[in-house]
Amino acid sequence: MKAKTDQRVLSHVDSGGRVRMVDVSDKPDSVREATAAGEIRMSPAAVRAIRDGAVKKGDPLQAARLAGIMAAKRTADLIPLCHPLAVTFVDVSLTARRWGYVISATVRTTGPTGVEMEALTAVSVAALTIYDMLKAVDRTMEIGAIRVTAKAGGRSGVFRR
């Protein structure tokens, strides 16, 4: 008996090797949710500037939340093969750490495809917004550890990291 291998077919590539958008028109709508997280590490001076309200451009945490929400809604404009989705909920949270912030985004929709890319985009753009607002204080900030931490809905079910 032949051993079974787990070779997954890349759905964004056709049999000729050309990229394509996946047709989801036959997939049933379901409630879908994804959460992503990431971090921005910064100097003590940058952390202090945020916590003391001393950032000349304004409150970077509020700007990051808004930027993340806006980015989640525009993901299909940024990622070439992403489906435009009717996003029904976005929450972006920032948790203070001594070295900077953990950023988390949860996105929800009802539709034929998931919202992992929207959650990842929200986290990424929120982090970039903080970087933009603090770069005069700290050009050595690091953005990283961006990953999907949970998803629910659709055929593949629930995933939690």
Q: Say how many residues make up the chain.
A: 161
Q: Read off the tokens for 14.
A: 């056709």
Among residues 6, 14, 132, 138, the one annotated as catalytic is 132
CA nearest to 127, candidates 43, 67, 48, 47: 67
Please say if 132 is a catalytic residue.
yes
Element (H, E) at 111: strand 100-111
CA distance 26 to 100: 44
Q: Which residues are the active-site residues?
A: 132
